[in-house]
Structure 1
Amino acid sequence: MFEIKPYWQNYIDGAWVDGGAGRIDVTDPATGNVIAQHALADAGDVDRAVMAARRVHISGVLTDMRPIERGRMVQAMGRFLTEHRERLAYLLSREQGKPIWESEIEIDGAAL
């Protein structure tokens, strides 16, 4: 079906980074097999992410945008989810052990 990346990093302050607390295994609940690893954030990672979000908020880059522009940005995120629905549903199902149809409903709801 689809390949699953063996390692997923955290996205903090515009960059993909390893977690300060190492890695955590992602297991397939149906088999118990490790299917990937994910960066495990520590308090410093969380602080950096919050500071980055605060900088964006204080900068006014989003609040100064016209509502129609912010709306278009959110719509683009929804289109991304819709365009990658099949792959995302597969990944969610493998990670969470839920049926594909349930993952598709979750993605459709997030894309609205």
Structure 2
Amino acid sequence: LRAPQHPYTWGLLSSVPSLHGDADADLVPIPGNPPSLINLPSGCAFHPRCRWAGVNGDRSRTEVPELREAGVPGHLVACHLPAGDRERIYRNEVAQVGVAR
């Protein structure tokens, strides 16, 4: 939870209240609805709800992302965003605006 690597995790953290932050802060829901588990979308199963799915063209829509090391030993992530992009997006777009508490 200290270094979330996947946009879904960012969304989960954004949708729960903080124990240490502003009690009146708005929660940010993950847009859309979870996919049917018997009819998953092609490519990354999270792409229809992912704000950053289009960053790498249509890869998120067509290719299942490979499970890779996420920077912390033993932590894995399946995301088409390169590690550097994920780090920058989290730092500049997610954590800075108080979305992930």
Name the larger-Rg structure.
Answer: 1
Greater helix content: 1
TM-score by length of 1: 0.26
Higher strand proportion = 1
Higher relative contact order (CA 8 A, sep 6+): 2
